Amino acid sequence: MIMTKRLTLTPGTIDDLPALEEIDNECGRYFAFDPPSGEHEDNHDCPLEECLTAGDIPPGVAKEDYKRENYYFYCIRQGGALIGFLSYYLEYQRRDTAYLCVFYIKEACRSSGLGAEIVRALAAKLAAAGFKFIKTHCSLRNAVSLRFWVRNGFDRITEVECTGNLYPGHFGGLGLVKAV
């Protein structure tokens, strides 16, 4: 469990699936500006049920190297109400690096500092466990997300990926890292 001043993050269970799917339906439109998953490795879309039961293999991790015990999925709750979810993978490409696979807060709960509060709490938890870096990936078309990550310390670009110019049907993404 991760606790902040206003939020509680609890491990997700299959019982959370109906509420998580409602939130996932909202977040689906934020990813509509990129081509469907499968066309690019980092544009991955793991079904929530699979994330809760088997975990999500992060981009760049071979299936045979995936360690389920390194994958964590949390429900974000405010006053008991489920308002979002996040998942991360430990020892991503290096022993001292975690990969933030997915992070989503309901639109109605944004612009109040909750996202930054979660990033600070997660960074503190990972730093206490000996991790030095958190990596994530963001679409080049998602300006709101890019601004959020940079404001929250993901200020080093580790990779720029694209399948040509960002015409419809093409993918573009940034790998970002934050020191914890």
The residue range of the domain holding 70 is: 2-179
Do the bridges between strand 133-139 and strand 172-179 make them parallel or antiparallel, or are there none, so unpaired? antiparallel
Q: What is the pLDDT of residues 100-140, one digit of tens each?
A: 999 999 999 998 999 999 999 999 999 999 999 999 999 88
Q: What is the mean pLDDT of the chain?
A: 90
Q: Which residue reads 């079904």 in tokens?
A: 47
Q: Model pTM?
A: 0.90
With the C-alpha atoms ordered 150, 154, 158, 164, is the resulting torsion angle positive or negative? negative
With the C-alpha atoms ordered 60, 63, 65, 71, is the resulting torsion angle positive or negative? positive
DSSP-assigned beta bridge partners for residue 9: 2, 76
Number of structural domains, the chain? Answer: 1
Q: What is the pLDDT of residues 50-86, one digit of tens each?
A: 999 999 999 989 999 999 999 999 999 999 999 999 9
> Residue 154: phi, psi to the nearest 5?
-85, 75
**What would the DSSP string read from start to end of 84-98?**
EEEEEESSSSSTTEE
> Residue 106: phi, psi to the nearest 5?
-50, 140
Within 10 Å of residue 40's Cβ, how many Cβ atoms? 18
Q: What is the CATH number of the domain that holds 24?
A: 3.40.630.30
